[in-house]
Amino acid sequence: MEFTKSVAPLGTAIKATGPIKAGDAAKLQSIIGEATVDEKGLRRIILESPGGEVVEAVHIAEIIRSNNFVTLVGGECASACAMLLYPAGRYSYLIGQGKLGFHSCYDRQQLVVHPECTEAIANIAASFGFPYGSIKLFASLTGPADMHWITNVLARCYGLERLIGDPVPISVSTLCPKIYQALVDGKFQEPDRPLGPSFDCKKATTAPELLLCRDPELMQLDALMGKLYRMMRKREGGGVSKLLSTQRAWIAERDQKCAVSANTVSSYENSRSAAQCFSELTMARMDELLEANGTPRLDFSPVTDRMKREDFFR
């Protein structure tokens, strides 16, 4: 990797780019003093890497954590970068069009998957407060030579972002897995229903409909919320109800607040702001539905109270 200084409004950050190779941990250690330490004791490192040597990535991750770095991704951070360096930050989040790439550990020469390596990496990420299950899930979705990409549209729902001020560990409660749990507990299945929104994407005409149909991550998020909603509607027997009226009102509010236009959906780049808006409002609605279903997310307050009493960065 190459480690350089990047001057930003909050001071000087370290930018780490390129494949991870032996000796990179020492290179990072030598430049740490160039990074600005803010009033909370945090430094910042910007990651952009296709991954590389796992053992060296572990050493870099330990340096990132012990020096209170916030890890930021504005480009592509894949493999060991996504599964080791990124979670090592005291806080970790995606900026702009940043994305994380996941795949299972494998032998590069023979393309043989090594599950025990993926397991070890997931455990290291969990030791930093990241959700073990989410790391394992996304690492398992592709073959060794492929990559499964996640952007900020979906990352936070699976606990793959921790914004400054969020309690730790992230694994205390993640929203999307909690909804899957609610669906399993409710024994709700829709075997004949394909993944997607409540309408037919082949007939999508409005800008909000086109946005949902053209963004696979947003479609997944909307579809998961829809499953929870339909389970709750089925339980109440259908008909006009408070749940139905609040859902319709939420959709109207979402479309108004996110201001999706024809220009918004004209390209992937133009749609990012609206997609992030849809994502945030959809996750807020998911929380409301979980509360109404009687299965709210775990209470963060004990963790938050403890953080207020202790020196978190000691």
Q: What are the residues whose beta carbons fall under 8 Å from the beta carbon of 153, sequence distance 6 or more? A: 215, 217, 218, 221, 275, 276, 278, 279
Domains of the chain: 2-172 (3.90.226.10), 175-293 (no CATH)
pLDDT tens sequence across 249-281: 999 999 999 999 999 999 999 999 999 999 999
Q: Which residue has the higher pLDDT, 198 or 168?
A: 198
pLDDT category, 302, cuts 50, 70, 90? Answer: very low
Tell me the pTM: 0.86
Token pair recorded at residue 176: 């999307």
Mean pLDDT of 235-245: 86
Q: What are the phi and psi torsion angles at 218 (to 5°)?
A: -65, -40
pLDDT band at 18 (very low <50, low <70, confident <90, very high): very high
pLDDT of the residue at 167: 72
Look at residue 240 in the predicted model and tell me its pLDDT.
Answer: 76
87-138, pLDDT tens digit by residue?
Answer: 999 999 999 899 999 998 876 666 677 788 889 999 999 899 888 889 988 9
